[in-house]
Structure 1
Amino acid sequence: MAAITEIPGPKGLPLLGSALDLRRDSLDVFLRARRDHGDVVRLSAGPPGARTVLHCVFSPEGVQQILASQAANFRKDNQFYEELRRSAGNGLLTAQDADYLRQRRLIQPLFTKRQVDSYATAVTLEADGTVERWRDAAGGVVDVVREMDRLALRTVSRILFGADVEAAVDVIHDNFPVVSEYVTRRGFSPVNPPRSWPLPSNRRAEAASQAVYAVCDRIIAERRAAEATAAAASAGTASAEGDDLLSLLSRASSEQDGSLDAAELRDQVLVFLVAGHETTATSMAFALHLLACHPEAQKRAHEEADRLPSGRAPSAADLDELPYLTRVLKEAMRLYPAAPVVGRRSVGAAEVDGHLIPAGADVLVLPWVTHRHPDLWDEPERFDPDRFTPEREAARHRYAWFPFGGGPRACIGQHFSMLESVLALAALLRSYELEAVDTEVPLTAGITLQATGPARVRLRARG
């Protein structure tokens, strides 16, 4: 059968297409597009002459083609990734071709299961700090979106910088939201003024980027100087090498790929600070929110966490003892995927799920929509962690659920994200019962899924 060349989609307004709807609620636009037009949909936005055309793919078969089987034809060449590169560097998230392959080969050994399991102590240390801090929560109420952002940022900072954790947290927390909003707005706008123009938005974003760069550069420089001094002092005796992720990154090398220079090292640190905390924070926050809204599921999670050995923090070895909490997390990532929209640009024309995608097309795959596809999920809006029993997972298409992407660009940190989230949630649930104050949380799609309002819960200390 010949590929369908006329891809269906909403007509939108005569002059602006779907631009206003996308600005108002892009996630709902994508859901309605699949419902009304099928699994491959064409959306146009913006005025004639500056119009963006988006080819949206919702079926798991189509997602697999774009992310895996035809990945070489669908690259990170679109406007969004270009804006992200200019604001956050050319690290593992944004690099391509030889740069990406070299970086991945150098960094992959730092994300083996054994190495990641060694980060569990930092996870539980920060989770226990959150448990203690919550004892003083005003009125016994906390916003889990804000709290999990803080917990995840402190955790990844501790893993990266060791004892220097405090140096980066406030700077990243204060400045990266400015960068994120700027990149998102420019990444999806049909027309942008040059970054060099002295506009307030350009100045704010540049100042925020430089503040983030500066703290990373300073920590890296201080660490390298300290290690050089320690190495000289201990020459011929014991090793002076540190074991935090920054130290491991700075020592990563091979005969084939050399090592990371100062700029490359900073770019990788930025990737792990930003991508490594925002995505995990989103997953943990909505897992807590969903448990607070579903007391029976929370009871099962409490019972499971309580079966862990008392008197010590959860460890990587306990992960297999928390299958229900793992299913809760996976279901939270289905309903609230941290990366709800994933973009690529086609190099050449390609057939995707029976439709012809033209060369040079902007293509989106959308976990937000595929994770709610009624052909894949019964009652897709219902919270049901048991969708992720081993038997039910094995029966589904590999790309029915893809919060970590897939193919050659799959997230290198997915095991770390799962380890951090499950262990942190277990530590929090051993200490508290949660009651939802906010049952609905307004959302928008930025670099990651963003809550635009609070997700508050009332805490009750457990014995």
Structure 2
Amino acid sequence: MKTPPQSSCPFHAGGHPPASPKPSSGSWPPGPEAGLTGWGLLTQLSRDLMGTLAGWQREFGDLVHVRTWPEHQVIVSDPHLARELLVNQADSLRRWERALSVYGRVHGHSVLIAEGEAWREKRQALQPDFTRKSVQAFSPSIVAAARRAFEQWPDRREAWPIESELTSVTMEVILRMMFSSGVGSEAREAEEAVHTLMVASTEELWRPASLPDWVPWQRKRRRARLLMNGLIERHLQARLRLPADAWPEDLLSRLLRLHLQQPKSWPLQAVRDECKTAFLAGHETVAASLAWWAWCMASHPDIQEKARAEALAAWHGEESGGADLSALQYVSQTLLETMRLHPAVPLLMSRRAVKPVTLGDWTFPAKTVFMVPMQLMQHDERWFPEPLSYRPERFDPDAARPQQGAYLPFGGGPRVCLGQHLAVAEMTLVAAQLLRRYRLSAPAGMAPPRAVFHVSQRPSAPLALDIARI
């Protein structure tokens, strides 16, 4: 993939984004009119987050100042500045405390929520279990779970609820990786609980304060949280009743070994919290990405056939274990391009400056909040020619690499997603297993799905596709 020779703006034919005025002391980049408080801008964002951000980029450029009393927010959609912010200025930033408060109600004090030295210690302890080499150990269980799930699908069905079914597959996969067993009859309840918590958390972000779970109208959220906690607790207690030498090799056993080795740093509550994050983040974003991938396959039959040929060749004879992921290069490319075009997480958790931050010609004071909407950069023709076209060859090993900072499906800098290698491996293996068994097509007259954002970005209506066993 070749980067365009000139920095042309996809929103201004033949030109560039509006030039920002020369910075002066106490000034900010251009942005929308805020009025007295700017809270009306939050309403716009809550109704159509990515559409509003894209509109502001078209009007004001790659650095946009949004004043919402008492905050100053800066939206960064230039890859060079995004990388400067996330990598070189990482020590000057902390994640937005409102988001940490909201997500902490669900995730506890896991590595996703922790900051500072607590985060560094957790990350260092967990990192060995999420390297590319460590992830290979999960391949057989991923393949086995996917194969069992697809064996239950019908031979042919019009408007098959594929988004829901793939969500069930990923639920089964993540729980087998975590606990070496599925959830059985609890599967649908667990899926609904995850969805409830995701939607509730997104809505809560736009409120100035959070309501406790005991208020009557929070009953659905409270039940979802109790169901998830109960599921994790049952598996945890069952594992503790076994002798340590009988523990299976899964994520729960790896976490419990940390507890045994470092009981003060890793109490049982820390094990529970990491299980929550693996369960929620590991399941939801993978399911969303696979749903969008299925749509891309159905709407591009020639690409689907090429990926299927590779998937059929990747296993020789009996599917008794995982495949070498290098044999699924093109399948992986289809997923990477799906995540570019339809990112499950279209923007990073906001950061707050704890000291002045310099980006380009601008110096922003401490307490400034920064937002990085990766989707805007991934849909920008300056970095991806024909950005709204689905072209897996962009990620061919021999293609030119994207502009640094322009493609961030797992974030960037020190806080890059810990489970990125596991997520890519899971998606690739599940996708390959599906392609080996089914041909996907869009129902006649179906319009492209519209995206909505609830922590992950999903189709606005549940995705249904025609399936036929090959």
Distance 1:329 1:414, change over 3 A: same
Residue number in structure 1 paired with 2:41: 18
Q: Aligned AA for 1:377? A: F
Secondary structure (helix, strand or coil) at the match of 1:184 reads helix
Deviations along 1:116-143, whole A, 9 cap, x unmatched?
Answer: 1111112111211232122266x34323
Residue number in structure 1 paired with 2:106: 87
Residue number in structure 2 paired with 1:6: 28
Residue number in structure 2 paired with 1:175: 193
Distance 1:211 1:131, change over 3 A: closer
Say which structure is richer in helix.
Answer: 1
Counterparts of 1:112 and 1:167 in 2: how far apart (Å)?
32
Deviations along 1:395-415, whole A, 9 cap, x unmatched?
Answer: x22211110111111111111
Residue number in structure 1 paired with 2:380: 373
Residue number in structure 2 paired with 1:303: 309
1:75-114 equivalences in 2 (<5 Å): 75-114=94-133
1:222 equivalenced with 2:241 (yes/no): no
Secondary structure (helix, strand or coil) at the match of 2:385 reads coil
Name the stretch that deviates more: 163-172 or 335-344. 163-172
Name the stretch that deviates more: 8-17 or 87-96. 8-17
Distance 1:78 1:427, change over 3 A: same
Q: Aligned AA for 1:300? A: K
Correspondent of 2:50 among 20, 24, 27: 27
Counterparts of 1:149 and 1:95 in 2: how far apart (Å)?
28
Residue number in structure 1 paired with 2:298: 292
The answer to whether the 8 Å contact 1:283/1:333 transfers is yes
1:357 equivalenced with 2:376 (yes/no): no
Counterparts of 2:389 and 2:155 in 1: how far apart (Å)?
34
The answer to whether the 8 Å contact 1:11/1:17 transfers is no
Counterparts of 2:123 and 2:312 in 1: how far apart (Å)?
39
The alpha-carbon deviation at position 344 of structure 1 amounts to 1.3
Counterparts of 2:461 and 2:236 in 1: how far apart (Å)?
35
Q: Aligned AA for 1:334? A: R
Secondary structure (helix, strand or coil) at the match of 1:458 reads strand
Distance 1:147 1:449, change over 3 A: same
Counterparts of 2:171 and 2:298 in 1: how far apart (Å)?
23
Counterparts of 2:363 and 2:465 in 1: how far apart (Å)?
47
1:135 equivalenced with 2:173 (yes/no): no
Gaps of 5+ in 1: 232-238
Q: Aligned AA for 2:448? A: E
Aligned residues: 444
TM-score norm. by structure 2 comes to 0.88
Residue number in structure 1 paired with 2:202: 184
1:39-58 equivalences in 2 (<5 Å): 39-44=62-67, 53-58=72-77
Gaps of 5+ in 2: 1-20
Residue number in structure 1 paired with 2:81: 62
Counterparts of 1:223 and 1:393 in 2: how far apart (Å)?
48
Counterparts of 2:87 and 2:260 in 1: how far apart (Å)?
27
Counterparts of 1:219 and 1:251 in 2: how far apart (Å)?
15
The answer to whether the 8 Å contact 1:171/1:215 transfers is no
Instruction: Indicate the percent of aligned positions where both proteins have the same amino acid.
Output: 26
Distance 1:157 1:388, change over 3 A: same
Q: Aligned AA for 2:184? A: E
Distance 1:165 1:260, change over 3 A: farther
The answer to whether the 8 Å contact 1:341/1:445 transfers is no
Counterparts of 1:375 and 1:276 in 2: how far apart (Å)?
32
TM-score norm. by structure 1 comes to 0.89
Residue number in structure 2 paired with 1:213: 229
Deviations along 1:248-276, whole A, 9 cap, x unmatched?
Answer: 11002697896521110000000100100
- CA-based RMSD: 2.4
Counterparts of 2:151 and 2:167 in 1: how far apart (Å)?
17
Counterparts of 2:437 and 2:214 in 1: how far apart (Å)?
52
